[in-house]
Structure 1
């Protein structure tokens, strides 16, 4: 009897310690009330806790710009601009009309772009984003699909949030307007959902990605200060490419944070694939990749922290990592810290010395324990937000 009592007492102490530790952790990291919850609190990641616990989010949409983390944290999008409302799904790549997404996206002044209703936008050619723009799909079901999708090229301070991008096709060779005063000839986009090209301070959050002709999110040609977070990726081969090629050394400046994403069923490879630059892969959920999860070439630095890796059932593809190098990779800094591995998954580390993320000042944040990742990524993808309610 005494033994049973002591055992029960010890179990209660352990449980109390775990609850206390979790609450202390959440207090510093972030939590909020979940949608529809009237009593308990729903565990949220730091980004979501910043805005989703406020039922008046629709009255202060621009507050979202203060919620980014990681290398793209300083992306302000259209925070200091007017609200622009998309009222029609029509598109003209040369002379876009007011009320269309393209008309808002190419303006020179900062704009916070929202949508008047649910819509599926079939772009007639790639959409060229201008600087200081936010695409905010909250409050409507917005899909960009069945045509060319979004190009972020040579600009800065872009936020893309809360939309679905799927079944994107290559762009056509032809004229495309990129600002009110400039229309130029484009050779044709490759078919990415979002292509970030020679740009900085970009944040892509809470989007749904699937089935595009090329990549789902590519960051190339000297782009940097990018955060890709809270997205749901599914049904695609080459999901995320960071770095243009093995000879494009300008990508050495690239710094990307990949956080709180759910790489779901049907993702084959490049979750992400990195060249030259630095990538912090943190608190993502991986659900049975079909070839590999994290890969790269040209000596990138990759820090995998607090991720939740579930390997596929097929035995040849249990390894999380894949390196492509003709000259050896022993000195490449690829590290795993606090990751959890399931179904035989394993991470091959390499290199020497610290590779902690080189965040400066307020860009830094504390990775959550990997066991929390299923909760922190449970709402990845475009959310179904209703004005006046918790999202």
Structure 2
């Protein structure tokens, strides 16, 4: 019994298939790793001073640094979240205070125990959470030195605040003022209240500038638990802040718009044209030459284009006569006139005027020119 000799084709094909599978698997792994890396390193969107945002105006970096130092950070989205986490050994950081417009919210925050750190407070928020301070003027300089003996500020050194508000004591109270009053601190009611007239130094984009990170960590890390409350929208009942444009439209306007829509629809049905069946048409349409010439003549006449009509007549006459005269296109006018005079007689100057002269001034002159050209062409053809 004979055996078929083995060849290397089978193993070679299998080896190539294994190589292709390994390459495909490697490409899948690379794509998966790249996708995962992009997802993990992509910036997480968020509002200003949002603890979850990795954007330029977020505070995710500061929150991460505080947690690395062993501080328990609670990110509160509502006043109720702050109330559940507040205690005597906590620090409440209140930012984005222009969303705290409800008096009941501010009163609830003011009654909570623990220290306070208020960033860029508006007037109503400052009166409730830091009642012993008042705003003086704005500081326009970017980098400021502490200028005080407050431990947190002295350790941080120069800080880049940018444009910021300045504060001073509103009553006969001992207030520590640093950085020309941008940072003010006092102690009352068993708690420490700190107000900073700028929040730029805690943002992700400015945390690495000079002593910004040090001051932010020193101020936010004074207690074992820190509650970060930076509301991104209002919670009050007077103005929720999340109403859409349609919620602001009165009901009467909505009914008026629907009436207009119905009226326009009925008008479209009334005036609209209905398409009928397709009509078969034999193309191309044959147009007689006489109709084309008549149409062009009427067009020239309506526009008083006697010059263009005369030029068209002379060009057509010359194109038909030159082959009969043995001349080429573009021959000199004198040579053409001499050849025509030799064939049928006539004055060369008069022939030159007829074949190459100026445009006629009137319609009668244009008709006479057409007749003269026809006579010349007929005589050349018959000679």
TM-score, normalisation: structure 1: 0.21
Larger Rg: 2
Q: Which structure is richer in relative contact order (CA contacts within 8 A, separation 6 or more)? A: 2
Quick check: which one's helix share is greater? 2
